[in-house]
Amino acid sequence: MTVTAIPSWTASGVLPPINPASPASIDRSPYEVSLTDLILHFNTSTERQSILTGLLDFRQELHGIGLNQGFQWLDGSFLEHVEATESRAPRDIDVVTFFHMPAGQTQASLLLPNRSLFTPLETKSRFHVDAYFVQLDAGAPEPLVAQSTYWYSMWSHRRSGHWKGYLKIDLSPTDDQTARANLVSPQVQGGQP
């Protein structure tokens, strides 16, 4: 995994969709970042800290049922500077988990005993995570391409049509303990997260 630094918000309060200094480069959204960098960058208020805690708790439960391989795309008002643009705190974080099915599991055996982890209304209520899932090893590539295209098109623009960027983190639990240790009192870093 090659991680990059989280770019600063644009004047519109969103992450840039591309690197403006090199617009044709592969340095573009979704920016692959470490979970610890996400925590350090966005832990700037009690509301944001609560959402980050929920994200870490959500990931812990996913790891507990064997979802350890894949990645997550992160988006929503949490990645925007809504405090400045909309005079409010973010309410949740949007997450699409792209995962490999654990060995010996099927969709039914994973879903049935863990239904609350796969229901967006419940994950939003419990974890402040608006959660969606895409299985990476489901068979034919066409559904994977269709779902990836759907999420990319949903998340690369605001409802107003304004381009924006989003982030990608590894699903592996490798960085979770360090990230949680860095989730301390919210601090403003350089005037903005």
Sheet-wide strand order for 129-135: 31-32, 167-170, 70-75, 93-99, 129-135
Query: Residue 190 — very low, low, confident or very high, per pLDDT cuts 50/70/90?
Result: very low
Cβ-Cβ contacts under 8 Å for 117 (sequence gap 6 or more): 58, 61, 62, 65, 123, 131
pLDDT of residue 155: 85
Q: What is the mean pLDDT of the chain?
A: 90
Q: How far apart are CA 154 and CA 158, in angstroms?
A: 8
First-to-last alpha carbon distance for the chain, in angstroms, is: 23
Query: Residue 188 — very low, low, confident or very high, per pLDDT cuts 50/70/90?
Result: low
pLDDT, tens digit, for every residue of 123-179? Answer: 999 999 999 999 999 888 898 999 888 888 888 888 787 899 999 999 999 999 999
pLDDT of residue 53: 97
pLDDT of residue 193: 47
pLDDT of residue 1: 56
Cβ-Cβ contacts under 8 Å for 6 (sequence gap 6 or more): 15, 31, 33, 37, 38, 41, 167
pLDDT of residue 18: 85
* 73-101 average pLDDT score: 96
Statement: residue 189 has pLDDT above 60: no
Q: Which of 32-41, 70-79, 100-109, 154-163 has the lowest mean pLDDT?
A: 154-163
User: Which is more confidently placed, 71 or 28?
Assistant: 71
H/E segment holding residue 49: helix 46-64
